[in-house]
A and B are shown apart, each in its own frame.
Chain A
Amino acid sequence: MKPQPFHSDAHAPSHFIDADDILHKNVPMQDAAIEIEGLTKDYPVGFLLAKKRRSLDDLTMQVLPAEVFGFLGPNGAGKSTTIKLLMGLIFPTAGTARILGRPISDVRMHKDIGYLPEQPYFYDYLTAAELLDYFARFHDLTAADRRERIDRMLKKVGLDGARKIQLRKYSKGMLQRVGIAQAILHDPQVVILDEPMSGLDPIGRREVRDIILELKCNGRTVMFSTHILSDAEMICDRVGVIVGGKLRGVGRLDELVGVKVQGMEVLFELSRELPAIANPLLQKASRTGNRFRLEVPEEELYSVMEKLRGAGARILSVTQLKPTLEDYFLHLIAADQAQASAVEVSGK
């Protein structure tokens, strides 16, 4: 839907479920593929590194086996920090996490995990096939197995024709594809992708979505971060929303954004000027070229359509207006800003 303007006060619009309720559903589960408990990360800042900046604050959530989990948040929200903590690239200030029941400090479990870094960059003196072969060697695969998997993966990500070209000549999108190939080359149980759609054209994005869905069909767990909400809306079983280092909601999309219909959208065309009876409607509608868009309450839909038809308008479409993930997202950020303003005012 068209994003609804949110009030800058902290009152949540009624169609959203309260974030605390969502977080309360985030209870520990024995069989979770990824379990995160109280994960916190502070970075030292300032000239003497004496001050601390909290990048991730007491994150607790689970990703279930064989689900596609979208980790959503604006830039700088703490998505990549969380993923880097899970992969052991950085170390937590507090909290713990387990993947497939094993602590994240145990690098042996990496044989069952695939990881795509954000904006991946690989050894540019290698070709795609050489890079995949290099990474495959860490998984103790035989030479024949490596060759077979590399051929299959390069075909899957559409790079078979560019397999002998050095990576320094690859575009950003091609590097992203190589990154995805190396993440799933060893057939991992859990795949963690940091912004996998970044840098890809629409066809590439669709291909990545297909790969993720294929992994899910094969019983694999996929967690991916993104700030592009439409990607998450299309393929995620559940999502977690993080803003300012804090988890703000986790659950199914419909749980998060609510399912209540907010109204109806009517698109229509006019072949001639409307008579007086329909003029009030016309004043409420927004016009683009010859087309008009009108938002009406659900209970008034039929009477409005009667009036439009009576006036000779051609109805092009009627659509339910539901809040989207984007709305939810904007609502959270607006609420945060409002809270920050309130704190500032009370401080004065």
Chain B
Amino acid sequence: MNRAGTVAWNTFREAVRDRVLYNLVFFALLMMAAAILVGQISIGIESLVIVSLGLSAISIIGLLMAVFIGVGLVYKEMDKRTLYALLAKPIQRWEFLLGKFAGLLLTLTVNTAAMALGLFAALLYVRHSFEPSDAIVLIAAYFILLKLAIIVALALLFSCFTTPLLAILFTAGIYVTGLFVQDIRGFGNITGSAALDHLAVWVSYLLPNFENFNAIAAAAHAQPIPGLLIAQNTLYAAVYCAIALVAASAIFSRRNLK
């Protein structure tokens, strides 16, 4: 585990030195502009607009990072052959994968936390105070982070056996279909075919259900989020990530480096 931690820290350091966190500047500018404009055009619903805009920006920026950096985590190391010297050290391939996953997740956590801070600063600017219901914003940001963890695990899995471009397409494809899992399940019912119904149910269970992680509307309207949902989502993300990482490890441990 120490070795995976060493890889994770280096992955985080790489992201920082490659100026990945510069996206925070963009987010800060967006929040400042929104805070100033909202005060002028949306009387009474300032916090709703700020929370919706802020959490959506956190989600989109995080998604872009998770997909584009995630698919390069393994491929870049193989392509540049930096992996050769590393795998000659006493480290298992699965430890390397786990380290890369944890490193990008740490980057995304820092990024999400910094953006959440920016969102609260914007809220403070427009409302001049905090309310207890603002804690829901934190839960919504946490759900976004769980969603990003699943996406990183999937991107890592695909990058173990295909090119970055295809890995981006596969990951993005799964993300989009993962937003419509309930619809896929319902599609089976309306076909009238038992086989299609079964297939639709299986596919819907196989795909990650990203709808469960969408708490932006609840946070914007200050609707409470049950503790059970938090526990369920945490467990779901952990299990899904574990399955994806085990699959990635099984593929990568048999892979010939070029």
Q: Is B17 an interface residue (CB 8 A)?
A: yes
A122 touches B89 (CB 8 A): no
Question: Which B211-244 residues sit within 8 Å CB-CB of chain A?
Answer: none
User: Within residues 122 to 139 of chain A, which ones have a CB less than 8 A from any CB in chain B?
Assistant: 122-123, 125-126, 134-135, 137-139
Among A111-119, A235-243, A281-289, the stretch that binds chain B is: A111-119
Q: CB distance B257 to A135 under 8 Å?
A: no
B183 within 8 A of A: no
**A178: min CB distance to chain B, Å:** 10
Answer yes or no: B193 CB below 8 A from chain A CBs.
Answer: no
Cα distance, A107 to B91, chains bound together (Å): 7
A residues less than 8 Å from B3 (CB atoms): 137-138
Given contacts A90-B256, A121-B81, A121-B82, contact A134 B88 (CB under 8 A): no
CB distance from B230 to the nearest CB of A (A): 35
**Which residues of A (72-87) have their CB < 8 Å from a CB of B?**
84, 87
Chain B hits for A108, CB < 8 A:
90
Counted as pairs of residues, one from A and one from B, with CB atoms less than 8 Å apart, the total is: 74
Cα–Cα distance between A120 and B13 once the two chains are bound (Å): 21
Minimal Cβ-Cβ distance residue in B for A112: B90
The answer to whether the Cβ of B80 comes within 8 Å of any Cβ in the partner chain is yes
B81 touches A138 (CB 8 A): no
- A65 smallest CB distance to B (angstroms): 20
B18 at the interface (CB under 8 A from A): yes
Kindly name the residue among B2, B80, B91, B256 whose own CB sees the greatest number of chain A CB atoms within 10 A.
Answer: B256
Q: Determine whether the beta carbon of B90 is less than 8 Å from that of A134.
A: no
Q: Is A6 among interface residues, defined by CB-CB distance under 8 A?
A: no
Complex contact B84–A89 (CB within 8 A): yes
Give, as a whole number of angstroms, the nearest-CB distance from B178 to chain A. 32
Q: Which residues on A sit within 8 Å (CB–CB) of B133?
A: none
Min C-beta distance of A82 to chain B, whole Å: 14
Residues of B within 8 A of A126 (CB): 10, 13
CB–CB B90/A139 < 8 A:
yes
Count residues of chain A with CB under 8 A from any CB of chain B.
32
- CB contacts (< 8 Å) of A113 on chain B: these are 88
CB pair A120–B84 under 8 Å, yes or no, is yes
- Residues of the A chain whose Cβ atoms lie less than 8 Å from the Cβ of B14: 123, 125
Asked whether any CB of chain A lies closer than 8 Å to the CB of B254, the reply is yes
Contact of A251 with B by CB under 8 A: no
Residues on the B chain within 8 Å of A107, using CB: 87, 90-92
Contact A137 B81 (CB under 8 A): no
| Known A122-B82, A125-B18: A87·B6 in contact at CB below 8 Å | no
A88 to B256, CA, bound (A): 9
Known: A121-B82, A137-B6. A89 touches B91 (CB 8 A): no
* Cβ-based interface call for A182 (8 A): yes
Shortest C-beta distance, B126 to chain A (Å), equals 39
* B89 & A138 in contact (Cβ 8 Å cutoff): yes
Interfacial residues of chain B within 53-99, with CB under 8 A of chain A in the complex? 80-82, 84-92
Known: A111-B90, A115-B84. 16 other contacts (CB 8 A): A89-B84, A89-B87, A89-B257, A107-B90, A108-B90, A110-B90, A114-B88, A115-B85, A117-B85, A117-B88, A121-B81, A135-B85, A138-B6, A138-B91, A139-B89, A182-B85
14 residue pairs A–B, Cβ–Cβ below 8 Å: A84-B84, A87-B84, A89-B84, A90-B256, A110-B88, A115-B84, A117-B84, A119-B81, A125-B13, A125-B14, A126-B10, A134-B10, A138-B89, A138-B90
